[in-house]
Structure 1
Amino acid sequence: MAGTQDASSSSSAPSLHVVVFPWLAFGHMIPFLELSKRLARRGHAVTFVSTPRNAARLSAVPPELSARVRVATLELPAVEGLPDGAESTADVPPEKVGLLKAAFDGLAAPFAALVTAGLSGRGGGEADGFERRPDWIILDFAQNWVLPIAEELKIACAMFLIFPAALLAFVGTKQSNEAHPRRTTEDYMAPPPWVPFPSTLSYRRHEAEAIAAVFRPNASGVSDMDRLWQLLHRPSCRLVIDRSCPEAEPRLFSLLTDLFAKPVVPAGLLLPGDAADDEAQPGSGDQPFEAAARWLDEQPRRSVVYVALGSEAPVTAGNIRELAAGLELSGARFLWALRAPRGEPAAALLPGGFERRVAGRGVVVAGWVPQVRVLAHAAVGAFLTHCGWGSTVESLFGFGLPLVMLPFVSDQGLIARAMAARGVGVEVPRDDGGGGSFRGADVAAAVRRVMAGEEGDEMARRARELRDVVGDRVRQERYVDELVELLQRYKSAHWV
């Protein structure tokens, strides 16, 4: 990859031993693993911590990095009500994610034992860096119990946030929320008062109702916001690292550094590599893709809308029917990676005769699709997406594709507002009075706007320009270099 360093070209500073510990969701684990690989390419030893089943489902570490990246697994404790074998958010319905967090909290003692033991094991020698005490623990938003362990062992901590800086700016500090309490749904529908410049930081009503819930305790007994704030406000969390960059999100990093009184720094976007890199991602053995790939090869350049709403968006059967109606009505060519709601066969959710009526111009794949491979294909001209940050990074910043945007939860609405403001996509209208429902006719209109006419051409041009600036691979790798310099500088800071 352009700009990537290896051990021979890294700085003369001593190599680091970094423990990397993501939350149990593939949207978190995959970026954490990407960061791990980039640190390893620069000569540092990385211990990636997860549970056995998740470790088995993640893509393999490249052979050239196997001496520097090791995977340590911790057995997830049983929790009443959590299904047997559930080790990630992909294994449970949304209403049981709080129970998964409760089980995750049970990893505190095993994690402490793992770190205290020096993490000796595979690879063996001092040369690979694993037999010495870790210099850093890079953790996710959920492990509010890691900092006391790290403080006792005098190991520096950093938080790595896989969502855009915009979400952290919207959340704000605990003190800013106490000074400006948000008590009603409407309070979440306006930009926060601690952002001193005009912004798109606001939610639609149905999104606001969902975001308000993360401020309330869940089945783990703790709210997600309290977990985050407990980490952010302790001095032993020395850095906040975000999967973003100033080119993607102007003005926010300096604002957040001032707001949280500690460095909030970019890791860069951790852009995917070659299109073949995702052939071994989670679920890649579930469904054959080659028939759809052959169809895609036969389509004209930039003529196909790729449709994918992520693996965990709360998509209902009604959403699928309206989306199908919109794709049919649009007249556009499309490739749809359809993930049905849990326990429902995908084909049964489509309108009767749908696949027959769209035959030749539309393909539905009910299972895993190699997303990076599809986004890189010359036939793909736009992406109908839920606006997850990972999907936005891959499609817009990685390949310059304009967006048809259908956000559901979390940071997705903020991302959709920001991308619409930059003129690189169109958001499908929603009925805020009806819980965020949408109509097929509105899907069709949004697809036509992005795929046809002068407006579509202009959005495509802006998307390519944004890719050229934000997706510059050399600059993106330089953010990782700068992050390593900060890790070297802050690892031995005075303990408070």
Structure 2
Amino acid sequence: MEMAAAAAGAGAGRLEVVVFPWLAFGHMIPFLELSKRLAARGHAVAFVSTPRNLARLPPMPAHLSARIRFVALPLPAVEGLPEGAEATSDLPPDKVELLKKAMDGLAGPLASFLADAVAAGRRPDWVILDFCHHWVPPVADQHKVPCAAFLIFHAACMAFIGPRWANDDAYPRTKPEDFTVPPKWIPFPSTTVFLHHEARRMLADNFGENASGRSDTDRLWDVFERCCLTIHRSCRELEPRMFTLLSDLLRKPAVPAGILLPEAVEDRDQDHRQSSSGGVLRWLDDQPPKSVLYVALGSEAPLTLENIHELALGLELAGVHFLWALRKPAGTNNEQELLPAGFEERMQDRRMVCTGWVPQVKVLGHGATAAFLTHCGWGSTIESFAFGLPLVMLPFLTDTPMIAREMAKRGIGVEVARDDSDGSFDRDGVAVNVRHVMVEDEGNVFSGAEPGFGHRGGQAKLEKKIPLPCYRV
């Protein structure tokens, strides 16, 4: 890891590091993996979150448990935030900004924790914080503790957003059209662009005012400006030009940490029949090799009931076996049918739909899994790299459209067609792309291919691979 080299003055001794992720499991898990890597090198880590989130994290490996301690800061109550909601997965999308407002209320408890650590002779060497923790550096400054930002997004997204000085002074962007072309500060050809409907949503979700009282982009810009360096869940093999560019743009080191795959990559077949997810994995055990499409659109994609029905009917039209990790969309009630009428009966011989937790890395690594229909969140995308799975891509939020475009350019996946006026898609677009990835010209389900991003069929052209010596740090 290059962080040690960037942490000038830290020396070769043991570091005391405080790690504080945003309250979403898509952030907490990569932060936990970074914590494990630091602990494995002999450093002491204090992992900060709320009590309920800490209780839901996976168990710590025994050989690291002495070096990682968990610090629970009770989340303050905020009007409109449901009781017991401590992570984005506990909330509909329209309540997430209230969670940021509640998290901002942790400034006092974090200051007390740092003061106690200093008084006990354990002054942290670093605080590693997330994109929205704009208030943490001023708190850490009071105790003379430097901060680093760990950004779990792909580095190209951070370059596309750029620093405040570029957006406000050099190249201001105020209209959706400004985000449909690469920014002027990226000096080489880039796929970091949005379609018009994506740009409109991105402007509203990230640059606009929200219930927390501060836009996400303002939070990120403050983090860029107040931290000593940025750390990225990526590597030079994936994004060879981005780290030099980011270091120039942010005027501080931009350090690749690798892609930090969870430990399940190594133990994906160990004792899975005894686990709470055993039903999913047992179903996969019963399927032919390389015959199943895994479908998962993350925990925060703003799916409507209509979206779910079109996706379901597209999977039916495609005629393939599939495992679907399906989250109930906000605004639906128990009386509404989550899936189209008769769908489950028609599909009973070739589908499994799971509305609970699914062990994604284990599913991706299972021998029955042939391809991945994904929203192209960066975490999900890089998890698929380890197993060489082709992608069917249906992006929704923030950086996911840019990731999908880059994966399509690399020949790793195909993107479902969308209406650029409103971002809608239909069953036919889903079916065409699923069959493009999963089915050969003769109609035989993809099977027997060597690991990689392609197969033998004349139709599919997903043949490229990414060299990833960086996938474990």
> TM-score, normalization: structure 2?
0.89
Shift of the 293–312 alpha-carbon distance from structure 1 to 2, 3 Å rule, reads: same
Alignment of 1:311-330 (within 5 A): 311-330=299-318
| 1:494 corresponds to | none
**Map 1:17-416 → 2, pairs under 5 A:** 17-118=16-117, 131-178=121-168, 179-213=170-204, 214-234=206-226, 237-275=227-265, 289-342=277-330, 343-345=332-334, 348-395=337-384, 397-416=385-404
Query: Which residue identity is paired with 1:451?
Result: M
Could you say which structure has the higher helix fraction? 1
Aligned pair in 2 of structure 1 residues 262, 55: CA closer, same or farther (>3 Å)? same
> What letter matches 2:415 in structure 1?
E
Displacement of 1:253 after TM fit?
Answer: 0.8
Root mean square deviation of aligned Cα: 2.5
State the distance in 1 between where 2:413 and 2:80 align: 41
The alpha-carbon deviation at position 54 of structure 1 amounts to 0.7
Q: Give the conservation status (yes or no) of the 8 Å contact 1:326–1:439.
A: yes
Q: For 2:238, give the aligned amino acid.
A: A
Amino acid at match of 2:132: A
1:460 aligns to 2:443 (yes or no): no
Distance 1:447 1:34, change over 3 A: same
Aligned pair in 2 of structure 1 residues 119, 154: CA closer, same or farther (>3 Å)?
A: closer
Q: 1:349-387: CA deviations, max 9, x gaps?
A: 211111221222222122211111111111111000011
Question: What SS is found at the alignment partner of 2:149?
Answer: strand
Question: Aligned partners of 1:209 and 1:423: how far apart in 2?
Answer: 27
CA contact (8 A) 1:136 1:155 kept: yes
Question: What's the CA shift for 1:347?
Answer: 8.4
1:308-337 CA-partner distances (Å, limit 9, x unpaired) = 111221111111100001000001111111
Amino acid at match of 2:107: A
Cα 1:61–1:205 change in 2 (3 A) is: same
Alpha-carbon distance in 2 for matches of 1:416, 1:162 = 16
Distance 1:279 1:77, change over 3 A: farther
**TM-score of the two chains, using structure 1 as the length reference:** 0.85
Task: Name the SS for the 1:192 alignment partner.
Answer: coil
TM-superposed deviation, 1:298: 2.4
The structural deviation recorded for 1:257 is: 0.7
Is the Cα contact below 8 Å between 1:278 and 1:370 reproduced in 2?
Answer: no
* 1:246–1:73 distance in 2 versus 1, CA, 3 Å: same
Q: 1:99 to 1:274 in 2, by over 3 A?
A: closer
Identity %: 58
SS of 2:314 mapped into structure 1 = helix
Spell out, residue by residue over 1:158-178, the C-alpha distance to the aligned partner (whole angstroms, 9 max, x if none). Answer: 000011001101101111112
**Secondary structure of residue in 1 paired with 2:39:** helix
1:265 Cα deviation (Å)?
Answer: 0.9
- The answer to whether the Cα contact below 8 Å between 2:127 and 2:147 also exists between their aligned partners in 1 is yes
**Unpaired runs of 5+ in structure 1?**
1-10, 121-129, 481-496
Instruction: Tell me if 1:430 matches 2:427.
Output: no
CA distance in structure 1 between the aligned counterparts of 2:116 and 2:155, rounded to whole angstroms: 35
Call closer, same or farther: CA 1:349–1:243 in 2, change over 3 Å: same
Per-residue CA distance 1:105-147 (angstroms, 9 max, x = gap): 1111110110110179xxxxxxxxx851100000011111111
Amino acid at match of 1:391: S
Whichever residue aligns with residue 213 of structure 2, its letter is G
Aligned equivalent of 2:435: 448
